[in-house]
Amino acid sequence: MAANNEKSSGTVAYINARLLDPASGLDTTGGLLTEGEIITDVGPGLAKKKDAPKGAKVVDCGGKCLSPGLVDMRIEIGDLASTAEAAVSGGVTSAVCLPNTDPVIDDMTVVEFVARRARKLGLVKVYPYGAVTKGLQGRELAELGLLAEAGAVAFTDGTKAVADAQVMARALSYAATFGLMIVQHPEEPSLTADGVMNAGETATRLGLFGIPPEAEVIMIERDVRLAEMTGGRLHIAHVSTAESIDAIRRAKGRGINVTCDTAPPYFALNEAAIGDYRTFAKLSPPLRAEDDRQAVVQGLADGTIDAIASDHTPRDEESKRLPFEQAAPGGMGLSTLLAVALELHHNGHMGLLDVLKLITSAPAGLMGLDAGALIAGRPADLVLFDPEQGWKVDADALGGKAKNSPFDGRPVQGRVLLCVVDGRTVFEPGE
């Protein structure tokens, strides 16, 4: 791995590229110039080698797609080193990590610690979420203001919903004092007790207890009301059901300040992926019915869903090689984020720029990150990829100890050829 934390210096010209910048709507043949950590020029005038300034290092992009590095607004960090490598191998240059670390990110020192460790690795830029409540216990508010000052970009209790309505109302209200966003895991916990997969025919056949899709929409509808009541800024994480998307569509129509995201499993897979108790397909929220999957695709295409996050959740073999009910939920997603998102393009649901927007500028905007744009003056975080090149997801080859990809064995299209963070090459395949 070419990672290091030395500052890059000098000028690099990325020539002969298809420039794709969802932030500015740019889709043209051209090139890009970086000076140290910053993009200094972008455009069709830099298409050829002769256009590069004297003394610049020239990188020939071979006509492939050069876009802003991907921005992943929700990962679990697990083992930082392998997560960071998975990120850059997937073209992800900025990621926001959930606070359900050990210790929990509910204290300023932990915020600083996470960011500092990630900076030392010099791979993906890691930004932390702060906890909404102390210890993620759902009772007392964490120090939202101080955490934000320390660098927390938004607030969530991670994979646990803030269940108590009063606590959620106060969180939204208090966060609004500082203009901060609350991100909710949409699941009414009292309806999901014992549930391990989507409620329905498959769960009934397998003898597993179901999580009804209503558990998701009930929480969303409640929180939309609370956001309206408090004037707070609400974001719903990983929506997975048709009814949820309808509820958010209606709320947006009424002018309520709510946004949402989804994750690749929810538009690329359905509950059938569980098959005969496949624990890699045990996720939270659970994989849903085919109708729901289609509604998620529709929600992405019509703009109801604002962003795609990988929901990267590394789990060791011991926590997945268990009876389904006991296995830990969660799937890896960083390395497959681009390829699986591109299915939306390959299947004709969305344009290439529109798909890229969902994994670059849109999440960067939601999280307030200086990332996700090919614009002079912005950080030189780039990904070069071939949207057509096919490969097969192989969980064993994803690196690190965790292998729990719900996409294991899936043929996908879209290969990362180069990943650049702050002007430094941090990933090239075959290294």
Partner 1 sequence: MKQDGKDKVQFPHRHLLGIEGLSPEEISIFLDRSESYVDQNRRADKTSPVLHGRTIINLFFEDSTRTRTSFELAGKRLGGDIINMSVATSSVKKGETLIDTAMTLNAMHPDVLVVRHPHSGAVKLLSEKVNCAVINGGDGSHEHPTQALLDALTIRRRRGHLSGLQVAICGDILHSRVARSNIHLLNTMGARVRLIAPKTLVPPEVERLGVEVFHDMNDGLKDCDIVMMLRLQRERMNGNFLPSVREYFHFFGLDYEKLGHAKEDALIMHPGPMNRGVEIDTDVADDVGRSVIREQVEMGVAVRMAVLELLVLDSSEGDG
One of 25, 102, 254, 318 touching partner 1 (CB under 8 A): 318
277 counts as binding partner 1 under rule CB under 8 A: yes
Residue 384 neighbours by CB distance under 10 Å: 24
- The DSSP-derived string for 180-231 is -EEEE----GGG-TT--EESSHHHHHHT--EE-THHHHHHHHHHHHHHHHHT
What is the dihedral sign for C-alpha 39, 59, 400, 271? positive
One of 145, 189, 200, 399 touching partner 1 (CB under 8 A): 200
Locus of tokens 């289609």 = 294
One of 300, 327, 362, 419 touching partner 1 (CB under 8 A): 327
401 counts as binding partner 1 under rule CB under 8 A: no
206 counts as binding partner 1 under rule CB under 8 A: yes
- Closer of 206 and 295 to partner 1 (Cβ): 206
Per-residue contact string for residues 107-136; x = within reach of partner 1 by CB under 8 A: ------------------------------
210 counts as binding partner 1 under rule CB under 8 A: yes
- The DSSP-derived string for 299-328 is HHHTTSS-EE---B----HHHHSS-TTTSP
Q: What is the Cα–Cα distance from 94 to 71, expressed in whole angstroms?
A: 5
Per CB under 8 A, which region of 60-68, 79-87, 128-136, 319-327 contacts partner 1? 319-327
191 counts as binding partner 1 under rule CB under 8 A: no
Q: What's the CA dihedral at 274, 280, 285, 289 to 10 degrees? A: -20
Helix axes 290-301, 242-253, angle to 10 degrees: 30
Min. distance of Cβ 194 from partner 1 in angstroms? Answer: 7
One of 1, 322, 375, 376 touching partner 1 (CB under 8 A): 322
311 is catalytic: yes
340 counts as binding partner 1 under rule CB under 8 A: no
- Closer of 228 and 325 to partner 1 (Cβ): 325
Q: What's the CA dihedral at 153, 93, 384, 89 to 10 degrees? A: -140
- Closer of 45 and 323 to partner 1 (Cβ): 323
Q: 255-259 long-range CB contacts below 8 Å, 24 or more apart?
A: 256/224, 256/227, 256/228, 257/227, 257/231, 257/232, 257/233, 258/223, 258/224, 258/227, 258/234, 259/234, 259/235, 259/306, 259/307, 259/366
6 counts as binding partner 1 under rule CB under 8 A: no
Q: What is the Cα–Cα distance from 385 to 338, expressed in whole angstroms?
A: 9
321 counts as binding partner 1 under rule CB under 8 A: yes
One of 14, 267, 324, 427 touching partner 1 (CB under 8 A): 324
One of 24, 28, 204, 347 touching partner 1 (CB under 8 A): 204
- Closer of 210 and 265 to partner 1 (Cβ): 210
The catalytically annotated residue of 107, 223, 306, 311 is 311
- Closer of 113 and 277 to partner 1 (Cβ): 277
Active site residues: 311
Residues that bind partner 1 (CB under 8 A): 193-194, 199-201, 203-210, 212, 276-277, 318, 321-327
